[in-house]
Amino acid sequence: MDERSALAMLSTSLSAAGDDAAVVDDLAITTDMLHERSDFPAGTTRETAGWRAVGASLSDLAAMGADATCAVAVYAAPAFEEAALAAFVRGASEVCELVDAEYVGGDLDHHSEFTTATTAVGHADEPIYRSGATPGEAVCVTGVLGRTAAALRRFAAGDADAGNELFRFTPRVAAGRALRDHASAMMDSSDGLARSLHQLAEASDCGFAVEWDRLPVHPAVDAVAESEADRRECAAHVGEDFELVFTTPDPAAAVAAVEATGTDATVIGEVTDDGVLAAGEPLPDRGYTHGETE
Amino acid sequence: MDERSALAMLSTSLSAAGDDAAVVDDLAITTDMLHERSDFPAGTTRETAGWRAVGASLSDLAAMGADATCAVAVYAAPAFEEAALAAFVRGASEVCELVDAEYVGGDLDHHSEFTTATTAVGHADEPIYRSGATPGEAVCVTGVLGRTAAALRRFAAGDADAGNELFRFTPRVAAGRALRDHASAMMDSSDGLARSLHQLAEASDCGFAVEWDRLPVHPAVDAVAESEADRRECAAHVGEDFELVFTTPDPAAAVAAVEATGTDATVIGEVTDDGVLAAGEPLPDRGYTHGETE
């Protein structure tokens, strides 16, 4: 059983699973585990790891239109080195501060490989789910795509400073909150734009038609992309950019609401009846799956 | 740096850390990671593992006097076998049902060793901390001690059925809630009674004097203990019983409040100025530490 089948199984037995975060009563909650080998390229500082791991969970709250109350992390490593642990806590605290959440520590455990399990909790009075998109609406993204793809190239080239800089992203909690009155469906782009569109399509029983030349691409991608095809790969498939992908019946109002929080938003196409197309061609449901790529 | 030093470091940099659960606004949150090798003896079913891992987090909420809203878990294993995953979810869901919480799934990850990271969240309108005990008060425990020690002996003897039965405990959420108006300090006994008393003493700047013959010991301990010393080891040091250890100025009222929830509570001694004594002798600060003992 691969990861997606296993998650699907969890989702059928547990009603709240299957969205970016679970919603129980007035709370949204989400948890993730990250590993040194698969998630933190050589050169990633422990501060960046703390930032990114906690940030990924905060992004899941953002994707529900929830606020972010607090986050915890389990820090598991072969040894507890004070400088590394302090750096992790600093990164985790910094990304929480960016979204008005509190990092409240967590648990420690011995592990042969550096591993962290993070959980974030917030209030979700009006959660936005993946289901809810209607044909004719616009589909949009916040910020720019390809940031993580560019970071991975930088790490691979030995430029760890640039990689770490790109790896520390701002979770879109404020934008997600601003979209509560505007978005009909939403998720974050942690698995890449292409896979996100497929998942929204499945949850909303719709399709999408997006245009390549509308995608907002991070300038760092242009510096590393070897071809137009490579550029598209970076923007649509590598993923882990933690931007919001959302649909809306009123794109002008939705974009303005996001922009009021200091983040860009871009209309990249429209909701259709079925199929996920980019410039009229099928956009494959391909992205980051643990253990398959990287 | 050992685990306790590292946790102490986290605690000084993060105000909310250091109790059983962190409290932020009206929420209590706690997270833990458990591993097959250190936490689940050979013979532990995946259902018991799910129950116990999620139960340990629910117990941390109980120790704050919080209710339990929901729990999540990361399930990390070398492969996702449907039967094992379904059993884990079943155990996790069952223990949540016992305390009126909802198990809402979580994340999956590949890992060479079966590992689970669990997080529980609840509302804590009047949290009970470890600090707050005053000399002259009574110190009490819920339920009985030594359940896990007996389970470990059963697993070691190849009697996995008895071990699994003993390993599935009821988190004391109802008792913890009932103690909100009665307990001055509280924590759970996950590190053993002895270490819990030392931690309460440190947090409350007090001491304890308990009596061996007052300790409520699980009948399964009597069936396996080789001597009176061994019986005391099982009851006070092995730990992971997930009972509540609390202090109160009015033990009769506190015991009655716990008993009204269907759980026993027993006065085991009193709060003193300093020192942790059992029958007048120092009770060593020794218990379960990951990697040191079972």
Provide the pLDDT confidence category of residue A178 given band limits of 50, 70 and 90: very high
B116 is in an annotated binding site: no
| Mean pLDDT value across residues A102-120 | 90
At B259, which CATH number?
Answer: 3.90.650.10
pLDDT of res. B18: 63
State whether A121 and B27 contact (CB < 8 Å): yes
Q: How far apart are CA A191 and CA A178, in angstroms?
A: 23
Q: What is the mean pLDDT of each run of 10 residues along chain B (294 residues)?
A: 59 54 92 91 97 97 97 92 92 97 89 92 95 97 97 97 97 98 96 95 97 97 94 95 97 98 98 98 82 36
Residue A54 lies in a domain: yes
Residues B253 and B149 in one domain: yes
pLDDT of res. B72: 95
- β-bridge pairing A276-278 and A265-272: unpaired
State whether A31 and B82 contact (CB < 8 Å): no
pLDDT of res. B14: 44
Instruction: For chain B, say whether A289 makes contact (Cβ under 8 Å).
Output: no
CA distance A176 to chain B (A): 21
pLDDT of res. B61: 97
Which residues, in sequence order, are CB contacts of B286 under 8 Å at separation 6+? B192, B194, B195, B237
Residue A191 lies in a domain: yes
A190 is in an annotated binding site: yes
Instruction: For chain B, say whether A11 makes contact (Cβ under 8 Å).
Output: yes
Instruction: For chain A, say whether B4 makes contact (Cβ under 8 Å).
Output: no
| Mean pLDDT value across residues A88-101 | 96
pLDDT above 60 for A181: yes
Residues B222 and B260 in one domain: yes
Look at A11 and A260; give whichever has higher pLDDT.
Answer: A260
Structure tokens at A106: 């967590």
In 3D space, the residue among B285, B294, B1 whose CA is nearest the CA of residue B149 turns out to be: B294
pLDDT of res. B294: 33
- β-bridge pairing A115-123 and A27-35: antiparallel
Is A29 buried (19+), middle (13-18) or exposed (0-12) by CB count in 10 A? buried
Residues B169 and B262 in one domain: yes
- 3-class DSSP state for residue A204? helix
pLDDT of res. A288: 62
Instruction: For chain B, say whether A131 makes contact (Cβ under 8 Å).
Output: no
pLDDT of res. A290: 44
Residues A95 and A149 in one domain: no
Structure tokens at A46: 């422990």
Q: Give the other-Cβ count within 10 Å of A33's Cβ.
A: 27
Domain's final residue, options A68, A100, A123: A123
- Contacts A1 to B, Cβ<8 Å: 79-82, 85
Residue B100 lies in a domain: yes
Q: How far apart are CA B237 and CA A294, in angstroms?
A: 46
State whether B31 and A6 contact (CB < 8 Å): no
Residue B291 lies in a domain: no
Full strand arrangement of the beta sheet holding A22-24: A22-24, A27-35, A115-123, A70-77, A102-110
Which residues, in sequence order, are CB contacts of B274 under 8 Å at separation 6+? B201, B206, B207
Of B5, B29, B82, the CB nearest to A1: B82
Residues A73 and A153 in one domain: no
- Contacts A119 to B, Cβ<8 Å: 29, 31, 72, 119
Give the tens place of pLDDT for each residue, A217-255.
Answer: 999 999 999 999 999 999 999 999 999 999 999 999 999
Residues A89 and A115 in one domain: yes
In 3D space, the residue among A112, A99, A5, A95 whose CA is nearest the CA of residue A48 turns out to be: A95
State whether B104 and A33 contact (CB < 8 Å): no
pLDDT of res. B77: 92
State whether B117 and A31 contact (CB < 8 Å): yes
Q: Which domain holds residue B169?
A: 138-282
In 3D space, the residue among A240, A214, A237 whose CA is nearest the CA of residue A151 turns out to be: A240
Residue B292 lies in a domain: no
Provide the pLDDT confidence category of residue A292 given band limits of 50, 70 and 90: very low
Residues B251 and B200 in one domain: yes
Residues B90 and B150 in one domain: no
pLDDT above 60 for A26: yes
Which residues in A172-204 are b (16+ Cβ under 10 Å) and which e? bbbbbbbbbebbbbbbbbbbbbbbbbbbbbebb
| Mean pLDDT value across residues A142-166 | 97
In 3D space, the residue among B231, B44, B80 whose CA is nearest the CA of residue B152 turns out to be: B44
Residues A95 and A163 in one domain: no
Residue B166 lies in a domain: yes
| Mean pLDDT value across residues A190-208 | 96
pLDDT of res. B228: 95
In 3D space, the residue among A239, A206, A109 whose CA is nearest the CA of residue B111 turns out to be: A109
Q: How far apart are CA B147 and CA B217, in angstroms?
A: 8
CA distance A27 to chain B (A): 9
Rounded to the nearest 5°, which phi and psi values hold at A6?
Answer: -65, -40
Average pLDDT, chain A: 92
Residue B247 lies in a domain: yes
Express as a percent the part of chain A with pLDDT over 70: 91
Region at B187 (left for phi over 0; alpha for psi -120 to 50; beta for the rest): beta
pLDDT above 90 for A142: yes
Domain's final residue, options A73, A99, A123: A123
Helices (H) and strands (E) in chain A, counts: 11, 12
Domain's final residue, options A71, A100, A123: A123
Residues B65 and B114 in one domain: yes
Task: Give the number of beta-carbon pairs within 8 Å between A and B.
Answer: 166
ipTM (interface predicted TM) = 0.85
> How many domains are there within chain A?
2
Choose from A12, A19, A33, A97 for mutation: most chain B CBs within 10 A: A33
pLDDT of res. B292: 39
Provide the pLDDT confidence category of residue A17 given band limits of 50, 70 and 90: very low
Residue B294 lies in a domain: no
Q: How far apart are CA B20 and CA B200, in angstroms?
A: 11
At A65, which CATH number?
Answer: 3.30.1330.10
Instruction: For chain B, say whether A97 makes contact (Cβ under 8 Å).
Output: no
Residues B225 and B90 in one domain: no
pLDDT above 60 for A108: yes
Residues A142 and A268 in one domain: yes
